[in-house]
Amino acid sequence: MRPYEHGGDIYGDRPIRLDFSVNTNPLGMPEAVRRAIGDRGAEDERYPDPHCRLLRRALSERYGIGPEHILCGNGASDLILRLCACLRPKTVLLPAPTFSEYGRSAALFGTTVRTVPLKAENGFALDRAFLSALTPDVDMVFLCNPNNPTGQLCGPALLEEIAAKCHENGTYLAADECFIEFTDGQSMLPLLERYPRLLILRAFTKIYAMAGLRLGFLLSGDARLLERIAAFGAEWSVSTVAQRAGLAALGSAGWMERTRAFVAEERRWLTEQLTALGLTVWPGRANYLLVRGNRPVYAALLERGIMVRNCGSFIGLDENYFRVGIKTRAENEILIEALKEVLYG
């Protein structure tokens, strides 16, 4: 069985009372989603719509793009794997650190993975060094915005420069915006028509706390390209329950605004508390924080039933780094008290 390099694996022998290793919405699912996933009897006995017609129509209305430009999948990770399976890039370029599934999925198909190091002293910001690394032999780029695990946003001007250079070189650009709805950052959606090799990844996993339901989608200005990518997924990859939940989530008025306000306040408070403990905190813009101490804390917190994301598996980081998903004030206070014990006894 291959090693698991992500958060959320609470299913081992050790009891976990609080899981800070995941970065889903601390408010949980919208109530409309909870109602939607209830037992529907005969509806759930039938095969799901293989083309997610109603869901794609609702996404089309939300994002102002035709349904033929939307492909739904079993979470963003499913779509990342399909992208690599379909396009078979010889060389992929990534910033480092970043989400590990890009490199893992590419490597499955014999791809050479190049990385551009992001520097701690520069706040792990993506800068123009990435443009210099975008040579004509790069077939595909993955960019996570805001980046995971750093939470840093890339500015729209640099993003467009990257998109333009990819277009000039014939390079596919996969922009992962699964966390952008937690931020005030600008999406690359307006660039889709201009750059046909730009693909945007989104998911219901994070903002709607639907990790267990597995629902993501891919946007492209090139409908034929999406048809090619779709062929590399299993039939009925999106369950009826997930499609129904997605429709309910999209109808949850005010959810984004409520979430952003809540996360911003808890992020500010948690940053202050972690800094007061002598830890280095990068001022991320998403619903998680990258933190560094003078020694690892993962195992000691685990003994107290608290799981954080050990960042030792990220390229460019070591086990002194950890990521915490932002939760409610009561839960965040428990984390701070546990860290006081671990760090100072």
Question: pLDDT means per 10 residues in the chain (345 residues)?
Answer: 64 79 91 85 83 97 97 98 98 98 97 97 95 97 98 97 98 98 96 97 96 96 97 95 96 95 98 98 96 97 96 96 98 98 93
Q: Where are the domains of the chain?
A: 18-28+254-344, 31-250
Question: For residue 130, what pLDDT is reported?
Answer: 97
> Same CATH fold, 31-250 and 18-28+254-344?
no
pLDDT for res 125: 96
The model's pTM is 0.94
Looking at residue 345, its pLDDT comes to 81
Query: What confidence score (pLDDT) does residue 5 get?
Result: 67
Peptide bond into 296 cis (omega under 30): no
> For residue 310, what pLDDT is reported?
96
Q: What is the pLDDT of residue 46?
A: 87
Q: Please give the pLDDT value at position 313.
A: 94
**What integer pLDDT is reported at residue 328 of this predicted model?**
97
**pLDDT of 49:** 95
Rounded Cα distance between 113 and 48, Å, is: 36
Q: Name the CATH topology of 18-28+254-344.
A: Aspartate Aminotransferase, domain 1 (3.90.1150)
Count CB neighbours of 256 within 10 A.
13
CATH topology of domain 31-250: Aspartate Aminotransferase; domain 2 (3.40.640)
Helices (H) and strands (E) in the chain, counts: 12, 13
Residue 4, pLDDT score: 56
- Asked if 100 and 121 count as a contact pair (C-beta separation under 8 A), the reply is no
Q: What are the start-end ranges of the E strands in the chain?
A: 18-19, 70-73, 91-96, 112-117, 140-144, 172-176, 198-203, 216-220, 280-281, 288-292, 306-307, 309-310, 321-325
pLDDT at position 41, please? 65
